[in-house]
Homo-oligomer: A and B are copies of this chain.
Amino acid sequence: MDLHEHQSKALFVKHGIPAPMGEVAHTPEEAEAIAAKINGKVVVKAQVLTGGRGKAGGVKVASSPAEAKEKADSIIGMPIKHLTVHKVLVDPASTIVKEIYLGITNDRKVGKPVMIASSEGGMDIEQVAKENPDAVIREHIDPVYGLQGYQITSVANAMNLPKEHWKAFGQIARGLYACYAANDATLAEINPLIINGDNQLVALDGKMSIDDNALFRHPELAAMRDLTVEAEAEAIAREADISYVKLDGQIGCMVNGAGLAMTTMDMTQLYGADKGIGPANFLDIGGGAKADKVAKALNIILSDPNVKSVLINIFGGITRCDEVARGMIEAYNEVKPVVPIVIRLQGTNAKEGREIIQSANIPTLIAAATLTEAAQKAVAAAEGAL
């Protein structure tokens, strides 16, 4: 789960990291009031959970409350990538003398957190990493012992940070690791960490991602989830414990298991790409799905107007295919979909499942034996409907 900049920076401050203490505005008027309170130059920053905000015009400087209102008005409601901006952070403006990058994430190769730092911070840090890898310092952290002081010294040294800033940098690095560890983060990033006009280190922008698997022990973080960025279908899916991601194609997919769900998507693209047909979504209903879950999943898939056919691919392992088939018929009767549904059952009691589907005698319910056959039939059905 990703946190907004203002949420991330609030957590940073809790861990002793200096950051501009602005406030969030949901309307231009609120932005104006905050700017008046700050009583100086401000930055109005779109709070959206995606990158490229700056390039999209989502960050603007304002010299007066009136100008802050005007800038906020232009930013709130603007689209950035596939998201709409619903709120802005109004921060006091800073003079930037130098931009540093400081982040922590998990390195799955070694099973440890890694601190990443560069004296060449800012938006182009990935470019720096590619073109001048030596300018990006990596320091692996023992997850049991935590970040040690000598590691911070080593990082500060390697990035050629002037020694007058080491003490402040140490406090920030310690704070960032503490913040990362205490919140089960998978990313905690300060970019840029600036040296400002007063020669102070300040976290100008911050990003954090929290491990979804750990949210059960962080109710206060779980409550920070921004529901406005979630499409309605995704919210419904999450409630029902279904993994759903909307895509741009025409074939709605319902599969048990993430790997097989991706594979099923791949198959619709493999056989449909030359006809401009591909997957409309990723959907994993998980193990042991019962009728009501199948119905919910079907509803979610069909809420996408682009869907021209549905491909249901169930490999019954522990799940029994006859049960899924019965659930499918129930769901069909409840949802009454108009688009054709190709259903392929394999594994435990697959034969019984197929018989149940066939004996239901629903013309838009098409059985398939193999995944290849199912994908081809789903493509053909979608094509027929195009």
Interface residues of A (CB under 8 A from B): 144-145
* Chain B residues, CB < 8 A from A145: 144
Pull 2 A–B residue pairs with CB atoms less than 8 Å apart, ordered by A. Answer: A144-B144, A144-B145
* Chain B residues, CB < 8 A from A144: 144-145
A33 to chain B, nearest CB (A): 44
A186 to chain B, nearest CB (A): 22
Q: Determine the distance from Cα of A145 to Cα of B145 in the docked complex, in whole angstroms.
A: 9
A368 to chain B, nearest CB (A): 48
Determine the residue in chain B with the shortest Cβ distance to A144. Answer: B144
A238 to chain B, nearest CB (A): 31
Q: Determine the distance from Cα of A251 to Cα of B247 in the docked complex, in whole angstroms.
A: 91
Q: Determine the distance from Cα of A144 to Cα of B145 in the docked complex, in whole angstroms.
A: 7
Q: Determine the distance from Cα of A145 to Cα of B144 in the docked complex, in whole angstroms.
A: 7
Q: Determine the distance from Cα of A144 to Cα of B142 in the docked complex, in whole angstroms.
A: 11
Q: Determine the distance from Cα of A144 to Cα of B144 in the docked complex, in whole angstroms.
A: 7
Determine the residue in chain B with the shortest Cβ distance to A142. Answer: B144
A34 to chain B, nearest CB (A): 41
Q: Determine the distance from Cα of A243 to Cα of B64 in the docked complex, in whole angstroms.
A: 68
A20 to chain B, nearest CB (A): 33
Q: Determine the distance from Cα of A136 to Cα of B145 in the docked complex, in whole angstroms.
A: 32
Determine the residue in chain B with the shortest Cβ distance to A145. Answer: B144
A233 to chain B, nearest CB (A): 40
Q: Determine the distance from Cα of A144 to Cα of B143 in the docked complex, in whole angstroms.
A: 11
Q: Determine the distance from Cα of A355 to Cα of B145 in the docked complex, in whole angstroms.
A: 55
A181 to chain B, nearest CB (A): 14
